[in-house]
Structures are given as structure tokens and as C-alpha cells.
Amino acid sequence: MDVVKVQYAKTHLSALLNAVERGEEIVVSRGDRPVAKLVPLKETEEREFGFVAYQVPDSFVEPLPEEELAAWEGSA
């Protein structure tokens, strides 16, 4: 794991990101104190829309009853 100073990281960020994309981990330090770590992100797999078996009921788009609307608005 490479350790670089903040100033180096600021001027060489693009090169550091290339290294991270290759799988390297880089620690950024302020003086002798490590303050951050650059690590590759884990790939997330695409989820198909509708992956949960659920149907929105038709009543979902209907206006709320007055008493429930008043409760949501804090005037109940």
C-alpha cells in the first residue's frame, strides 16, 4: 500500500486514480498522520426493475380521506 502526502495527491490525483483502478490502495497522509485511503469501488450488479413481486393498488393515486389528510398536515 502506497502512502502519499496531501500535496502530492492534489497534483497527481489522476495518476493515483489510475493506480486505484488497477486495484492498488493508496493512503493519503497529512504529515506523518494518515487521513484517508483511496480504494477501488466494488462493482455493483444491475438490478432489474420490478425485482420485487408487488403491485401498487389503484387507490394509491386517489385523494386521502379528510381525517387522514388532517393527520398528515398536523391539524388532527
3 state SS of 68: helix
Domain count, the chain: 1
**CATH value at residue 15:** 3.40.1620
Among 8-12, 15-19, 34-38, 68-72, the range scoring the smallest mean pLDDT is 68-72
Could you tell me if residue 60 is inside a domain? no
Could you tell me if residue 22 is inside a domain? yes
DSSP state of 52: S
Domain of residue 8: give its range.
2-38
Structure confidence by residue, pLDDT tens digits, 13-54: 999 999 999 999 999 999 999 999 999 998 878 877 777 788
Could you tell me if residue 30 is inside a domain? yes
Look up residue 46 and give its amino acid: E
| Residue listed under C-alpha cell 466494488 | 42
Could you tell me if residue 57 is inside a domain? no
Could you tell me if residue 46 is inside a domain? no
Higher pLDDT, 11 or 53: 11
Could you tell me if residue 62 is inside a domain? no
